[in-house]
Structure 1
Amino acid sequence: MVLVNYIVMCLIFGTTFLAIKVGVDAGAPPFFSAGIRFFLAGLILFAFMVWKKQARVSLLLRKEMLLTGLCLTFGTFATLYWAEQHISSGIAAVLSATAPLLVMLLQTRLSRQKLSAISWAGCLAGLAGVTLLLLPGLTFSFSVLWIAGCVAVLVGQLFYSAGAVYSRRVSQQFKDVSPITLNAAQMMYGGVLLLVISAFTEQVHTEFLFSSQAVFSLLYLIFVGSMMGHSIFYWLVAKTNPLFPSTWLYISPLIALTLGAVLYQEPLHLSSLAGGLAIIAGIVMINLNALKQLVSKKAPLEHAESPTK
């Protein structure tokens, strides 16, 4: 059951980038559609947890939920949704995979620890990969908006890395609160902030609601991407360990690149593919010690799988 859920989660997270692209291309306002997605997904999950008596409404009054939502949802997805107006979903997915690298650099900076040689090599490989990804926009058909879209995704990952480091402290502070509840609360706040920026920057016309592609994209992202995907993620964390589910970041970008090229005819230059592989190789190198620990600790997985056999 663990393996099945892991595969489903990777497929879900790998398809969300294309779903965002489909919705944006169909005319859905980026900030508005992102805000609706996360606010409704968070609201439904939070209401369910309250109904199950595993959450209290008073949690929404804590500033920690606002700050986490500002980074993990608002900053990360405002930039991603805007960027996918100008870049392919595959490129967006691969650039988003730089998040673990940025988290590692931020944690190292805060803790003032020195990086190992393999970690520095991973950083250089990741930087080389980002450069290779940017080459098509510079050499084939120079586009300022294409470059801006790539930079926007990277800026979003800075928000995510800061939010990830901060959320670990928040989760320790709220040990008695389910991670699903904490995630639902921050999604609600992030969704509200996205709707606020939409109100000031976008003219929302209801015509996009008559587009089957836009409606399907929105519903898919709410129920499958946000609710189902994140619920499986936290279920895997509970059944195994925090590291194992996070390895989706090594797999989903390749899924997104393939789906974008096959189903949506997105351009896939050899330099972009090489860049994507270099970024993923860099992330693996940076997390090599943690991955070795995951391989050596098979007991939690076997224990988690035994009840389902």
Structure 2
Amino acid sequence: MRDPLSERSTAVQIARRLPTVLAAAAALTLFGPGIAHADPGPLYNSAQDNFTDGDAPAGLADLRQLLSESPDDAQALALQAIWSDYTGDLITREVALNRLNGVDRELADDTRNTFRAIGAAVGTLPNPIPAIAGPATGIAVLGYGLLPDGSMRPELVNRLQAAWLQAIASPMSPILVTGGNPQNGITEAAAMQGWLIGHGIPANRIIADHRAGSTVQNALFGADMLRRAGATSAIVVTSPNHVRRAVADFIVAGIPVVGATTSLEQLVSQLPPPAKSNQRGIYLDATRTMLLPVGR
């Protein structure tokens, strides 16, 4: 025998839940079932590989596809802004930067700083004349590959001669020598440190970074060491064909560059600012110094 009270209770429950059921059905009709986005990692990695290989348009195409599926991917947005700037697509640069600003404000600020660093680097003129600076400005001397027996190549000696002049002109400045890549048990930093001490620079002025294996690491490790030595800015010392990349990397790493002293080789040929197509190494290094992952 049916229970009228039970049937009525069931009908009431169904009536109460009907709006929820209808809403769910409508949502399913409008949007379809939930679809998991593909892993953005392969597209990100492909983009980075293309940028490394010099194919910026292909890298940007990878990022467009990635961002169509994962529009809030902050690292991809930062890369899109930077490489769109490189290719001259200022509209895409600004759209990506504005989107990034809403997703990750800190990374957006870092990206803007990278634009400033690249601009400062491109505008840097190689200059063999040392600058005059005080103790709050460090002198950052970048290494160059040693010979297999651990001795220095002529280009590194030329950098050290420029560094010696800079050290004499700024006698209170701490001196950072940065470079790992040991040969015969000797790092670039150790070889540079020995040369400077042998030419009369007091050992207590010299800070040695024996770890760096690239210009990016010169800047990342060196910026931290300079700050711990009390320096809030730096004069970069390297070769004319290397100075712009070094300037960009140190600025991105958080150390303002107030001077760039260079050796004399290739000085005249490196005086004109590089064409956009020749700035790829500056852009590539800057993204690495920002710690945007090469792969993920």
- Give your verdict on TM over 0.5: no
**Larger relative CO (CA 8 A, sep 6+): 1 or 2?**
1
Name which one, 1 or 2, has greater alpha-carbon Rg: 2
Larger strand proportion, structure 1 or 2? Answer: 2
User: If the length of structure 2 is used for normalisation, what is the TM-score?
Assistant: 0.25
User: If the length of structure 1 is used for normalisation, what is the TM-score?
Assistant: 0.24
Larger helix proportion, structure 1 or 2? Answer: 1
